[in-house]
Structure 1
Amino acid sequence: MIILGFESSCDETGVAVVDTQRGLLAHALHSQVAMHEDYGGVVPELASRDHIRRVLPLTREALAQAGLGLDDVDAVAYTAGPGLAGALLVGASVARSIAWARDLPAIPIHHLEGHLLSPLLADPRPEFPFVALLVSGGHTQLMRVDGVGQYTLLGETLDDAAGEAFDKTAKLLGLGYPGGPALAALAEGADETRFELPRPKLHSQDLDFSFSGLKTAVLTRLRQLERDAPEGRVAESDRAALAAATQAAIVDVLVAKSLRALKETGLKRIVVAGGVGANRRLRERLVAGLARLKGQAYFPPLALCTDNGAMIAFAAAMRVQAGLADLTDTKPAFDVHPRWALSEIG
C-alpha cells in the first residue's frame, strides 16, 4: 500500500510517500525557521499561511522523488494533532480533500506517535517492547511501548519541556531562533563545570521532569555576570560556559530518568524521538549509559528528528499493518485536535 503523508502541526511543512512493504520512498520538507527568526518564536498565523503556500509544491516534489503520481496512492495520512490549530487545519484539509476526491481512505495520525515510531525508520531498527523518550520543544515524556498503539505513560514534565528550556535559555543568552541548536553550538568546547546549576528532580523516585527552575537559575547567574562585567557586557567565554552548564544540566536529568525507566521496566532498549534527540551531547551520554546496562539506544536519522511528513506516513503504514487504521474512512468531514494526549488513541 502506498501512503501519502502530510505534517503541518507547527513550523515545518512535510510531505512524504511510504510503501507498507518497501518503507520510505520519498520525503520533502520546508522549515519556517528563517521566517520566524525575527520574532524569536513561531507566529501561528504566519505559520498557517506559509503551510498553504508550501504544501502543494512539496506534494508534487515528494511524488516526483518517488516516481509516482496520485493515481498510485492508496491512502492519505495527516497530522490531526496536537499542534497549532490553524497549521493543523492546512495539512488536514489538503489530505482530506485529496482522499475524498480520489475515494481513498484518510488516516489521522497523532503527532507524537509519528515521533515515537520514527526511529523504526533507522537501521538497526528497534524491536518491541522498548522505552521511548519523547523530547522536543513542547513535550518531554517517557513511555513504555509494547507495540503500535500500545503506549503507557511512565513520566512527563510538570512544567517546561526540555526543548523549551533550551529555547528559553538561548533567548536569555541573546541567541537566535531556534534556540536549542544555537545553545548547543555556543556550548561546544566550553567548560560545563564552571557554573553550578540545579538538576531539578534528578534524585526523585518518580520518572517526572521539571525544567522551569533551571531557567530561573540561569537568569539569576546571568544577571550576576552582567553586574560584575565591565559596562554590563558578559564575556563570550562566560556565555559559552553558561550555555554548556545548561546543556549539561538538562542532559543529566534526561539521561538519569531514562536509565531509571529502563531499570524499573526491566527493558534494555530505549528509543529517543523529537527535536532534542538531535543533540549530540544527549546522544553520547545515553549511548554510554546504555553500554553500562548492556542495553542499546536508538535514534531516528538526524534529518527526521524535527517534524516531518515521513514520520506521519510511516506511522500510518504501521497502523495499517497492525490493523488499527480505518480504511473505510473516505468522508470529507474531519476535525483536528490542538490538545490531544497520546493515551487517548488506540
Structure 2
Amino acid sequence: MLGIESSCDETGVAILRWEPDAPGKGLLAHTLYSQIKLHADYGGVVPELASRDHVRKLLPLVREALAEAGLRPADLGGVAYTAGPGLVGALLVGAAAGRALAWALGVPAIGVHHMEGHLLAPLLEDDPPRPPFVALLVSGGHSMLVEVKAIGEYTILGDTLDDAAGEAFDKTAKLMGLPYPGGPALARLAEQGRPGAFRFSRPMTDRPGLDFSFSGLKTQVLLAWQQSDQSEQTRADIARGFEEAIVDTLLIKCRRALEATGVHSLVIAGGVGANRRLRAELAAAGEKDGFRSYFPRLAFCTDNGAMIALAGAIRLASGQHQSEAVEVRPRWNLEDLPAA
C-alpha cells in the first residue's frame, strides 16, 4: 500500500505491507518533506505556495520510498491518499497523483480522512490499542475527543469552538515574537519557565461538557505579555503558564470523556501529541485513575504518509475503494465515515 499525505504543509509518502495483527511491522518505507522554511517568512502557511511545493516534491518522494522499500511501482497493490479535511489545493495534488498512479497500475485507490489517519497512527506501534477507546485528536486545526467503538464507528464527544490547541500554541508564540513554527518553539521555551509565575484560566472546565475553546486563553496571554517587562525570563514564565493551562484543560476533558464512556484506553494523536508535558501528565493521570494512554512515536504525531497508508490498507481490506474521479473534501465530518 502506497500512502500519500498532502493536506497542508508537509508532503508525506510511505509504503506499508498489510499485516493485520501487527501493522507497524509491515512499514517498509516512509519519507517526509516539510515546508517550514518555505512559509517561515510569512509566519504561517500560504495555501498557494503549499500546493505548488507538493507538486514539486511528491513524485520524487514516491521514488525515494520505493527505493527504500526495494520495490518497483508494479509491486504496489493499492494507493491511499488524504482526501480531506485540509487545504483544497494541497489535497488535490495528492488526490490527483494518487488516483493517476492507481489507474496506471490497475490497482484500487482509497481517499483517507486525515483525522482518521491520526487516530489510527498508534496502531503502528508494537503494542497497539484495541477498540473501544477514547481518542484525543489535537493538532493545528483540530481539538476533539472521539469515542471509538470500532474502526469507522466514531462519535465526536467534544470539538473545538474556535482556535484548536495547536493553533493557540502557534498564535501565542507569534504574539510573543517566537520564530515560526511557533508551537514547538513555545514548548521548548516553557521548559525554562518558573512554575506558578503566571497562571491562566483553564477554558470551559468550570462547566459540563467536552468542547474546547482556546481563543480567550490566547487573549489572556497577550495582555500579560503587553503588561510585562518582556524580559527573556518573563517570556519563558508566560510560555510555561500558557502550556500548563493547555495541558491541564486537555487532561480535565480527557478524564471526563473516559468517565462518560466507561473505557480505560486513551489514544492521543496529532501534532500537539508530541508535547512532553502533555505526555507526562497523561501518563501520571493514567497511573492514578487506572487508564492507559497510547501515543504514536514522535515522527507519526505530525502529518505523515504512514498513517494514511495504514488507514487506506484497513479500508481496502474491508472492500472499500474510490471511483476513478478525483474528489477531495476540505471539510469532512469524521462521523460520516462508514464502518471498516
Shorter-chain TM band? over 0.9
Deviations 1:265-297 (A, max 9, x none): 111100001000000000000011111112110
Residue 337, structure 1, aligned to residue 329, structure 2: yes
Aligned partner of 2:114 in structure 1 is 111
1:196 CA displacement: 2.0
Shift of residue 320, structure 1, vs aligned partner: 2.7
Tell me, in whole angstroms, the C-alpha distance in 1 between the residues paired with 2:216 and 2:334: 26
1:1-346 equivalence runs, <5 A: 3-21=1-19, 22-225=25-228, 229=229, 234-321=230-317, 323=318, 325-326=320-321, 329=322, 331=324, 333-346=325-338
Percent sequence identity over aligned pairs = 59
Could you tell me the TM-score, scaled by structure 1's length? 0.94
Q: CA-to-partner distance for each residue in 1:301-333, whole Å, 9 max, x for gaps?
A: 101111011000001112233x1523xx462x2
Structure 1 portions without partners, runs of 5+: none
Residues 110 and 316, structure 2, Cα contact 8 Å, conserved in 1: no
Offset of 1:133 from its aligned partner? 0.1
Structure 1: distance between partners of 2:28 and 2:150: 23
| Superposition deviation, residue 96 in structure 1 | 0.5
Q: Deviations for 1:141-192, whole angstroms, at most 9, x for unmatched residues?
A: 0001111111111111111100011011101110011111000011113113
**Amino acid corresponding to residue 257 of structure 1 in structure 2:** K
Segments ≥4 residues shifted beyond 4 Å: none
Deviation at 1:203, TM superposition (A): 2.7
User: 335-344 or 238-247: which moved more?
Assistant: 335-344
- For residue 326 of structure 2, give the secondary structure of its aligned residue in structure 1: coil
Provide the C-alpha distance between the structure 1 equivalents of 2:195 and 2:82, rounded to a whole number of angstroms.
Answer: 38
**Ranges in structure 2 where 5+ consecutive residues have no aligned partner:** 20-24
Instruction: Report Cα offsets for 1:111-149 as digits up to 9, x if no partner.
Output: 000000001111221111100000000000000111111
Q: TM-score, normalized by length of structure 2? A: 0.96
Deviations 1:11-55 (A, max 9, x none): 000011011125211111000011111110001111011101100
CA RMSD of aligned residues (A): 1.0
